[in-house]
Chain A
Amino acid sequence: MRFAMRSIPVFLLLMTSFSAMAQSSAQDIVAASDKVRNPGQPFRVTSTLQEYVGGQPRDRVVLTVYAREDAATRQFKNLVRYVDPPRDRGKMVLLDGTRMWFYDPASKVSIRISAQQRLMGQASNGDVMTVNLARDYRATLAGEETVTDADRQARECWHLVLAAATEDAVYSKIDYWVERSSNRPVKGKYYSDSGRLLKIAYFRAFREELGTARPTETIIIDAVDPNQVTTLNSSDYRFETIPEAWFQREFLPRLKVE
């Protein structure tokens, strides 16, 4: 059963954590957290990725992400288009489960890419928001923890351990902290197949977007080289008509510039 924690009557929130655990499974918490990050109907968002190296701002990438939830799989399909920097303008990435294509308008060719190649580009950060974790991962509750969020505020969180449950899961394991009172994602740690910690993400700057308070900034720390930090700012959220036919290789050159 999927439900949003905020719909739970107030008295339930006052009950002990033990009884709350009994009533909301780990999977439900993740599903509720997914809904905080993602609208349920097709939408478009502008993602601005600012890279910091050694604490100094360096490159900036601006992406337009078109997202649509697949009715059958409950997973998001994404079309990611590079807006900036100028050298990458117009390049596109189609992310639909294991069907992933990269299109370069310079060569006018679409190249099929693997999940590992997807992780190489900034597009993998761009679509970190539009992933339904509850669908691709099996969650277990590791406990309750007080986590310091990106604004150095203490947050009472569920600590969930997510294990990849489908082939579409990009990461092998995720440590995920969700605020108990709001189901807002606070922090995530993302691991490779070999168990190597790849990324640490903090979610913050919650603002009302498309009907729900959503994290509009995600701080992504490269755990392999912590000197590299990327912030992902989401703006210009819009519900948009995004037909199913958009999510195929042949459509990539056709997406209109707007």
Chain B
Amino acid sequence: MRRRAGALLAALAWLAAPPAQADDVDLIPQAVRQGAPAAPAATERAAKLNLENALSVWSLRDPVVSIPGGTSVDARNRTSVELRGRWRLGKSVELHLSDRASAIEQNDFSFPSSRTWRNDWREGYLTWEPAPREYLEAGRINLRNGVALGFNPTDFFKTRSLVDQSSQDPSALRENRLGTFMLRGQRIWDGGSASLAWAPKLYSPTPIETGLPAAGLRARLDRTNGASRLLASASFELGDLAPQLLVYHEGGVTRLGLNLSRTAGKSVVLYGEWAGGRYPNLITRALAYGRETGTLPAGVPGVLPAASGDEFQNDLALGFSWTGAAKLTLNAEYLYHQAGMTREDWRRWFATGSANAGSLAATGALWYIRAFAADQQEPATREQLFLRAAWSDAFVPHLELSGFALVNLYDRSRLVQLGARYDLSERWTLGAYLGANLGAAESERGSLPQANSAVLQALYYF
């Protein structure tokens, strides 16, 4: 009887006990359950090497204000080998190198020719750490600042650094740019850091390249070291704001900068970036630079009533990012570049172009202003909106769909790009981008000769 009661109690206990949760275990793949031998852990290599091929085509249109000499580039293929690396040369010394060598085929020159080969020496510098978290550096350094995506007012070393890109996404533009030859010191302590960078003037200002960057094997330090520049910055913790203060000095002009960011809940990051200083507006600086470098005749009259003197100019990027559970991230930014062209400036730009259609000097000067802005990587327009969406693992794993729009808030013209990147394997990535300059004929984007663009890109990582 006692044995029966014991058995009954055991049965009741078994019934009362929660069932063993075997269902979730069934989701574990057989290979994992059997303890498949994991691949050996990789050791970190000092260098990163990749091969890229990017085929770009453009559809061209006749701009309402003609470009002296015209634009005939409508197809280009670039094959590049890219190296990034850092090597320890001793206990406290490191060598950093970043370079991209390319072979270029283009519809307006023969292959091979002297214009086929191009080398972009982006970085090459030594870092010495004499004491923990104290650094002294010398060489060509790509020094970046700024928390925004569409436009970085505090990224003072971005000027004249652009090289040929596959994507027009501003975040991709940062990946391929020339560093500046400089001396730099930085100290990092608990909760903060400070740095000082000095870039000497090594060359006199040289003419800007209009259109697509030309090929060549030169280091092109003339582009990055055409003026003496000094940048001091400090970062510290202040609540959740992560502020960074900057002071920049170039050519007798001092500019101040500030970066702030903070999270708002689990999905949102708010950020802001400001820079300000007294200097002439875009039109004045562009025409002066064109005359100084001999691109524009010394006697060419001002084509637009540009402000002649220094004014306090503000640059601002205010934005937020939002990320949803479906791995979709949206960015929206308001971009303000006070030195850029106003609605009235644009109206005059088109009116002057229309009235001087037969004057190469006048139309050349008008287009030079825009080429100068692109070369400086500063917006040609005072007010813009930047919108970006990126969706990771879209529909299938390892596929990222993205799109962005840079909208001129005066004429609503816009640069838009849709992109898709697919990681085919651990080493192969395929990309495709469709871009368009949309807007009325007399608008910033609608007046550009490149109407649409398409890029096919393949990347192999060694």
Interface residues of A (CB under 8 A from B): 46, 48, 50, 52-53, 55-60, 62, 64, 81, 83-87, 89-90, 98-100, 104-109, 111-117, 120, 143, 145-152, 154, 159, 187, 189, 192-194, 196, 200, 202, 205, 219, 221, 226, 228-229, 231, 233, 235-236, 243-245, 248-251, 254, 256-258
Contact = CB atoms under 8 A, between A and B. Distances in A.
B262 to A, nearest CB: 8
A150 B22 CA distance: 9
Interface string B25-61: 1011111110110110111111010100000000000
Given A146-B20, A235-B41, A254-B188, A243 B132 contact: yes
Contacts of A192: 325
A90 B265 CA distance: 29
Contacts of B21: 145, 147-148, 187
B267 interface: yes
Given A89-B44, A254-B188, A112 B263 contact: yes
Interface residues of B, number: 79
B146 interface: yes
A54 to B, nearest CB: 8
A112 B426 contact: no
9 contacts: A90-B48, A112-B242, A112-B269, A120-B329, A150-B32, A229-B29, A248-B235, A251-B193, A256-B94
B190 A229 contact: no
Interface in B315-371: 321-325, 327, 329
B421 to A, nearest CB: 10
Contacts of B44: 64, 81, 83, 89, 257-258
Nearest to B48: A89
Contact of B190 (A52, A120, A159, A244): A244
A200 B28 CA distance: 10
Given A116-B266, A116-B267, A219-B32, A147 B398 contact: no
Interface in B149-197: 171, 174-175, 186, 188-193, 195
Given A109-B146, A115-B263, A257 B46 contact: yes
A152 B88 CA distance: 47
A231 B31 CA distance: 11
B46 A55 contact: no
Given A112-B271, A257-B46, A154 B20 contact: yes
Contact of B41 (A62, A104, A143, A146): A62
B106 interface: no
B34 to A, nearest CB: 10
A107 B174 contact: yes
B115 interface: no
A100 B50 CA distance: 28
A111 B148 CA distance: 8
Contacts of B325: 116, 192, 194, 196
A110 B197 CA distance: 19
Given A112-B271, A250-B186, A98 B31 contact: no
Contacts of B427: 85-87
Nearest to B36: A57
Interface in B189-229: 189-193, 195
Given A86-B48, A112-B147, A257-B88, A146 B18 contact: yes
B281 interface: no
B443 interface: no
B38 A233 contact: yes
Interface in B417-439: 423, 426-427, 429
B381 interface: no
Nearest to B425: A59
Given A86-B461, A249-B235, 13 more contacts: A56-B31, A81-B44, A86-B50, A112-B271, A114-B265, A114-B266, A116-B266, A143-B18, A148-B20, A150-B28, A248-B192, A248-B237, A251-B188
Given A50-B38, A114-B266, A257-B44, A229 B240 contact: no
Interface in B299-328: 321-325, 327
A238 B3 CA distance: 55
A115 B266 contact: yes
B385 to A, nearest CB: 20
A86 B38 CA distance: 18
